[in-house]
């Protein structure tokens, strides 16, 4: 597990995320690496609030605000006013801290 967001970003030079990482962090890694589809495939199979939050973020990134709003509601979170980069960092830091 990375110790912070900077350490997470440093792993993007790898060809894939560490297999011992939780799926939520692997999903975020694939998104940060530029592979939206793999990230989404993982996120949609995580059936809890963090999975819903990642799913919401991904649809927001895709530009599908209607779908994103649905997933933010499922996650119990408001539609963010932050940038996508800020939200990615918030997500990663949340996962690392739990």
Give the mean pLDDT of the chain: 96
Q: Is the pLDDT of residue 98 over 90?
A: no
**C-alpha separations of 43 from 6, 25, 47, 84 in Å:** 22, 10, 8, 17
Q: What is the pTM of this model?
A: 0.94
* Distances from the Cα of 3 to the Cα of 40, 52, 56, 91, angstroms: 24, 24, 25, 14
Q: Considering only CA atoms, which of 58, 5, 20 is closest in space to residue 50? A: 58
pLDDT given for residue 46 in this prediction: 95
Write out pLDDT tens, residues 12-49: 999 999 999 999 999 999 999 999 999 999 999 999 99
Distance CA 47, CA 8 (A): 23
Tell me whether residue 3 is exposed, middle or buried, using C-beta atoms within 10 angstroms of its C-beta: 0 to 12, 13 to 18, 19 or more: exposed
Domain boundaries, the chain: 5-97
């Amino acid at each position: 597990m990375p110790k912070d967001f900077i350490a997470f970003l440093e792993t993007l030079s790898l060809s894939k995320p560490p297999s011992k990482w939780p799926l939520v962090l692997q999903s975020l890694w694939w998104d940060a690496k530029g592979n939206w589809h793999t990230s989404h495939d993982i996120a949609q199979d995580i059936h809890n609030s963090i999975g819903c939050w990642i799913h919401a973020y991904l649809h927001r990134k895709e530009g599908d605000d209607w779908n994103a709003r649905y997933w933010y509601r499922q996650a119990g979170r408001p539609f963010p006013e932050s940038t996508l980069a800020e939200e990615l960092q918030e997500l990663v830091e949340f996962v690392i801290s739990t």
